[in-house]
Amino acid sequence: MDKRLSARDAVAQIEDGMTVGIGGWGPRRKPMALVREILRSDLRDLTVVAYGGADVGMLCAAGKVKKLVFAFVSLDFIPLEPYFRQARQSGAIEVMEIDEGMLLLGLRAAAWGLPFIPTEVGLGTDVLTHNPDIKLVDSPYDDKEWVAMPALKLDVSLLHVDRADFHGVCQIAGPDHYMDDWFARAATNTIVSCDELVDSEFFHDPARAREVFWERSATNAIVEIPGGAHPSSCNPLYGFDVAHFKAYTASAKDGGIEAYLSQYLGADEAEYQRNVGGLDAIKALALPTY
Amino acid sequence: MSTAATDYTLAELCIVASAEAFRHDGEVLATGIGVIPRLAASLAMKTFNPDLMMTDSEAFLLSEPNPIGKRPADFRQANETWMGFSRIFDNVWSGKRHAMLGPTQIDRWGQTNTSALGGTYQQPKVMMLGARGFPGNSISHANSFFVPGHNNRVFIEGECDYVSSIGYNPARLPRGRSLDDVDIRRVITDLCVMDFGGPDHQLRLLSLHPGIAVEQVQENTGFALSIPATVPTTPAPTVEQLAIIAALDPHNQRAAQIADNPPGNRA
């Protein structure tokens, strides 16, 4: 099955009001080109589920988000994401604020077709106070109460990987695949952008096959977008764009998202990449040191 | 033979005092978030607790802590195993971890806030990071806190604006659990070292940094501390410890962690 689509056609599958999971972590390996395609669309009222970075900030600032399911939103070296803060501080979005691990459990429950997974995480905290829909349950095996972390079912997941073939076999060569495998499994429709489209032969090497973290049946669409994670990183191909994130953060205080988008977004990814200095410049971005 | 240093910064004193929190941990993952906690965990692993485990702050477990900051091009870190974020949770929920973090608020019950300040929940005045991993950390394994500026905006009078982590608050105790299940270890600040070992888990003064008075600590804490009759002085770093810290932090990032980088002895 040939799963290749253009970014525009892939994002056209998303409908107003859908729940959209976004892979990656903070400023790392975010499907930013697909996020930009949402920014160019008329989509609205999305529920976004993410270990958030600028993906969340941009979507909130552009008015695409009705509700956010999150544990944090951060650019790492810039700890506080400026547009997410503005969205929260203006009361613009509904939130389901949970622990990082609860988010993982919610994705697992959705992936496994379970209504919930029991955990002690969240007990004694305001995660429960502010999420009355997250219920406590009794255990059939002990006398303690447990948090029943509900399944976080996703209509769509957006992911970015290093390489993929047209069947949807996806390689993440970087040091961490984060929770992308669970985002892929928790979604009805998983759309994956890749830096490079490769022949299936690429995966015959067992070392490369070990860098594939979900089966192709969990991938519904493949979009080839070299540099598509920019300004987030796609280690080992390129690091995150520190200067761009600083300009993005500064725009929140001067000009706002409209100024940022009019300077950079463009009509398509080719124009975006011209606006940020070109693909060669993206691929030359140094990897971060932690 | 160890020799007490006479010339050291407050940051270095805090690193050494924070390292003590990991001394008796045995074989657990030591996670220090921020320069001083990370150097503290690294120092503990390099000296009195070599059984500690540590990550590269990205995706691998190391048998030897990485120096902080840019490393030479030919540097090869001592990978032990893969330790991506999903596997971190396997470790967290097994309890074999001791994290040291710096929350924005800490209340009398040891509850912390990393999420939001003021306003309403729907519209906070100041939005911060979010709950992050604090709920899970606090109920799963040992935690210590590092506070670079000890004042009563951090150690607040009332309850945290948002409770990110479970503490010793009987009103929030989950059914079937005991307050003793909560495991908050040390609280290290720029003024002193504390723990929650006072009566009914009251925050207790353990040692004062050189030149700091009991009154100064109490005045900068929004609630009553448990204060023993005699409070020792936080031990100075040894010359050997300072050398190890310098090797772990070759770009001297520790100098930028506490306002004005004061000397360790403020007498």
Q: Report yes or no: A143 at the B interface, CB cutoff 8 Å.
A: yes
pLDDT at A108: 98
What's the CA gap between B36 and B42, in Å, rounded? 10
Grade residue A216 by pLDDT with cuts at 50, 70 and 90. very high
In three-state secondary structure terms, A176 is coil
Given an 8 Å threshold on Cβ–Cβ distance, is B136 in contact with A289? no
Those residues whose C-beta lies under 8 Å from the C-beta of residue A55, and which sit 6 or more positions away, are: A22, A24, A30, A31, A32, A35, A48, A232
Distance of CA B119 to the CA centre of its chain: 28
pLDDT at A195: 98
Mutate to test the interface with A, among B61, B132, B169 (most CBs of A within 10 A): B132
Q: A104 to chain B: which residues are within 8 Å by CB? A: 86, 89
The residue count for chain A: 290
DSSP-assigned letters across all residues of B180-204: GG--EEEEEESSEEEES-SGGG--E
Q: A175 to chain B: which residues are within 8 Å by CB? A: 58-60, 82, 84
User: B33: nearest CA in chain A?
Assistant: A290
Q: A176 to chain B: which residues are within 8 Å by CB? A: 58-59, 84-85
The residue behind tokens 């006479």 is B6
Q: Which helix (H) or strand (E) holds A38?
A: helix A32-40
Given an 8 Å threshold on Cβ–Cβ distance, is B127 in contact with A123? no
Other C-beta atoms lying within 10 Å of the C-beta of residue A2: 9
pLDDT at A283: 98
What's B47-62 look like in SS3?
CCCCCCEEECCCCEEE
Given an 8 Å threshold on Cβ–Cβ distance, is A74 in contact with B129? yes
Q: What is the pLDDT of residues B3-50, one digit of tens each?
A: 999 999 999 999 999 999 999 999 999 999 999 999 999 999 999 999
Given an 8 Å threshold on Cβ–Cβ distance, is B134 in contact with A121? no
Q: How far is B232 from chain A (nearest CA, A)?
A: 34
Q: For residue B163, give the nearest of A80, A84, A126 by CB distance.
A: A126
pLDDT at A14: 98
Instruction: Pick out chain B residues at pLDDT < 70.
Output: 1
Those residues whose C-beta lies under 8 Å from the C-beta of residue A288, and which sit 6 or more positions away, are: A77, A233, A235, A239, A240
Cis amide prior to B235 (ω within 30 degrees): no
Q: How far is B1 from chain A (nearest CA, A)?
A: 34
Can you give the C-alpha Rg of chain B in angstroms? 18
B226 and B205 in contact (C-beta within 8 Å)? Answer: yes
Averaged pLDDT, A68-95: 97
DSSP-assigned letters across all residues of B10-48: HHHHHHHHHHGGGTT--S-EEEE-SHHHHHHHHHHHHTT
Averaged pLDDT, A225-245: 98
Closest residue by Cα to residue A157 from A24, A68, A17: A24
Q: B178 to chain A: which residues are within 8 Å by CB? A: none
The superfamily (CATH) of domain B10-254 is Glutaconate Coenzyme A-transferase (3.40.1080.10)
Instruction: Answer whether residue A197 shows pLDDT above 60.
Output: yes
A276 and A231 in contact (C-beta within 8 Å)? Answer: yes
Q: A101 to chain B: which residues are within 8 Å by CB? A: 89, 92-93, 133, 136
pLDDT at B2: 84
Those residues whose C-beta lies under 8 Å from the C-beta of residue B129, and which sit 6 or more positions away, are: A72, A73, A74, A79, A80, B114, B115
Closest residue by Cα to residue B148 from B110, B106, B207: B106
Q: Report yes or no: A101 at the B interface, CB cutoff 8 Å.
A: yes
Biggest CA pair distance of chain B: 58
pLDDT at B1: 53
- A19 has which bridge partners? A47
Q: B32 to chain A: which residues are within 8 Å by CB? A: none
pLDDT at B194: 98
Q: Where are the domains of chain B?
A: 10-254
Map out the domains of chain A with their CATH numbers.
7-97+153-283 (3.40.1080.10), 115-150 (no CATH)
Instruction: Answer whether residue A90 shows pLDDT above 70.
Output: yes
pTM: 0.97
Q: Report yes or no: A85 at the B interface, CB cutoff 8 Å.
A: yes
Q: For residue A175, give the nearest of B60, B70, B164 by CB distance.
A: B60
Q: What is the pLDDT of residues A116-141, one digit of tens each?
A: 999 999 999 999 999 999 999 999 99
User: B171: nearest CA in chain A?
Assistant: A124
Amino acid sitting at position A43: L
- B145 has which bridge partners? B101, B187
Those residues whose C-beta lies under 8 Å from the C-beta of residue B95, and which sit 6 or more positions away, are: B140, B141
Given an 8 Å threshold on Cβ–Cβ distance, is B135 in contact with A88? no
Given an 8 Å threshold on Cβ–Cβ distance, is A72 in contact with B125? no
